[in-house]
Amino acid sequence: MNERTIIAGMTLSQAISLAGLIIAFITIWIHLEVRIAEVNVEIINIKQDLISHKSGNRKDLELLRD
């Protein structure tokens, strides 16, 4: 009477739940990788700004000493 679909030893609802869990983990992992890449870009930009401001500060300091 009540036939259950078996996929890899699981019922259909269990297989769908497992697939949803796997998709959730993949989505979270991708989101984290994107955020890490964004943070790395921000760090690089901050380092470049620091270098440019250091050289500007050196020029200003030399002008003040003269």
Q: Any idea which residue has 């078996």 for tokens?
A: 6
Pairing of strands 6-7, 10-11: antiparallel
Looking at the chain, the whole-number percentage of residues with pLDDT higher than 90 is 53
What pLDDT, in 10s, does the model give residues 26-56? Answer: 999 999 999 999 999 999 999 999 988 888 8
Burial class (CB in 10 A: 0-12, 13-18, 19+), 33: exposed
Average pLDDT estimate for 57-66: 80
pTM of the entire predicted model: 0.66
Tokens of 47: 């380092």
- Domain ranges in the chain are 6-65
Per-residue pLDDT, 1: 43
pLDDT at 60 over 50: yes
